[in-house]
Structure formats: structure tokens, C-alpha cells
Amino acid sequence: MRYVMKQKLFALGKDFYIRDEAGHDLFFVKGKVFSIGHKLAFQDLNGNELAFIKQKLISIAPKYELYRDGRLVAVVKKKLFTFVKSRFTLDMPGPGGLEVEGDFLQHEYSFTRQGYAVAWVSKKWFSWTDTYGVDIAEGEDDVLILATTVVIDMVCHQKDAGAWGSD
């Protein structure tokens, strides 16, 4: 399925909507304004929390934890020592982990599991600022992949004025 991620303009926190490709709102990510470290609630449109994103402050490399129903379900980490391209990992219990690689500054990257692509992020179809598409293969955990995309955006664009990850 293709999702469209777009920043919510004039928000105090790191808020944005996730829509389907027809423009229908599906999810909302609400950042907590006055917190130490990034904390975001990934919600459906009724306000039900589907995932919670929490930055780990004591870590050499950027690290975020993803929770569901109060339980840790995945950890997103930026790999520090890569030679050519930046890389992230989405570690989950069991063999389901994902590698994320590509051009993060230009929003052109993919998620792979054991060498097979399962999701793609691309800004090339959109001319709007801070808007990009996320294509996710059928059978994947859309919420975890979308939440990881939020984390990658915060880590890679936190110094950009007006970006979702700016402070």
C-alpha cells in the first residue's frame, strides 16, 4: 500500500498526518511538546494509540524504542560505522528485523529483510516540502515501518528549519 506522509504546518510538536494515496487521512503522529527527548504517539484518527515512539537518550548512536500496548516491540538504531551510505536497523524479537539503506536526506531509501525489499520511501513523486510516499509490501507491519520512517526523518533532518525533527 502507498502512504503519503506530510508535516502538519504550524504545530508546536512534531505532528504530521499519514494519508492513503487518494488523500484520505489514516494516521496521525502527535509529538509531545515539553519532553526530554523525542516522544511521539502514533494514533489512528479516533485517537487510539497504535504505537509509541521514545528516544533513548543514553546511547552513542541515535536509538529509538517502539512500543505497543506498553510493551517494547522494536528498536530503531542508526549504524555509526558505515563506509558509503548511512544505514538504520529495525531490530525486533525473532528473525523479523529490517535493514534500512539509501539517501535519507533526499527521502529515497528502502527497507529490506534478508536482502529482499519490503518497503520503499520516495520523495520523487511529490514536489511539496516535507511530503513523501511510503510503499509497503503486503503482509508487512505497516505501523512499525511508518513509525520507523518517522524516526529516520527526525534523526536525519533535526537541524533543518521547519522539518519534523527540528527542535
Nearest to 1 by CA among 138, 149, 144, 145: 138
CB-hemisphere CA count at 13 Å for 118?
20
Cα–Cα nearest to 44, from 23, 71, 17: 17
**Mean of all residue pLDDT scores within the chain:** 83
Report the pLDDT value the prediction gives residue 77, as an integer from 0 to 100.
93
DSSP conformation letters of 47-85: S-EEEEEEEESS-SS-EEEEEETTEEEEEEEEES--SSS
Helix, strand, coil percent content, the chain, rounded in steps of 5: 10, 45, 45
Amino acid 95: pLDDT: 76
Q: What's the CA gap between 99 and 107, in Å, rounded?
A: 16
pLDDT at 148: 94
How high is the pLDDT of residue 83? 58
* Per-residue pLDDT tens digits for 151-160: 988 888 765 4
Cell, residue 147: 513509525
With 0-12 CB in 10 A as exposed, 13-18 as middle and 19+ as buried, what is 167? exposed
What pLDDT score was predicted for residue 139?
94
Domains of the chain: 2-157 (2.40.160.200)
Provide the whole-model pTM: 0.85
List, for the chain, all residue ranges whose pLDDT scores fall below the cut of 50: 10-12, 160-167
The predicted pLDDT at position 164 comes to: 36
How much is the pLDDT for 161? 34
CA dist 116 to 8, 88, 104, 113, 149, Å?
A: 32, 16, 19, 5, 18
Predicted confidence at residue 41, as pLDDT, reads 93
